[in-house]
Amino acid sequence: MSMSLLVAKFCTTEKGLCADYTEVSKRFNVNGFIDGFVDKEFLATFKVYDEDCEYTYKEVNPEKLLEKLNATSSHELYHCVKIDESKRVEKLRDTAKQLVMLNQMYQLCAIYYSAASVSDCTTKLIVA
């Protein structure tokens, strides 16, 4: 399963939950890395109704994602000393890619929490 993450805003109407991507939308393509990073227990399904159509989305639990990000980024693999000890360019490149993905997911969580704190609608971190 290859996925991207997206912060999106949803408003409740008499028809149900309606999507509004115009105000708070930020997509990060973290495909290969996130496939193994996001556990199935992080995901929940919800329905959105937009222009008389029903869509089913998967939502990522941002608290669990942030908790795992904190645990992963503090792993000794990412300590400067360990990176400095690495002798192989391929290993350095892989570690750098992983650090970029971790950073992007941290940014996504920051965008989510910022949007959720000021919005009167429902803000969700979804799988796209």
The total of structural domains in the chain comes to: 1
Range of the structural domain that residue 81 is part of = 5-127
pLDDT digits (tens, 9 = 90+) for 6-30: 888 877 777 666 666 655 555 555 5
Write the DSSP symbol of residue 52.
T
Q: What's residue 35's pLDDT?
A: 66
Cα-flanking dihedrals φ and ψ of residue 125, to 5°?
-100, 110
| pLDDT given for residue 15 in this prediction | 66
Model confidence pLDDT, tens digit, residues 50-101 = 777 888 888 889 999 999 999 998 888 888 777 777 778 888 888 888 888 8
DSSP string, 57-125: EEEE-HHHHHHHHHHHHTSGGGSHHHHHH---HHHHHHHHHHHHHHHHHHHHHHHHHHHHHH-SSEEEE
pLDDT in tens, 35-47: 677 888 888 998 8
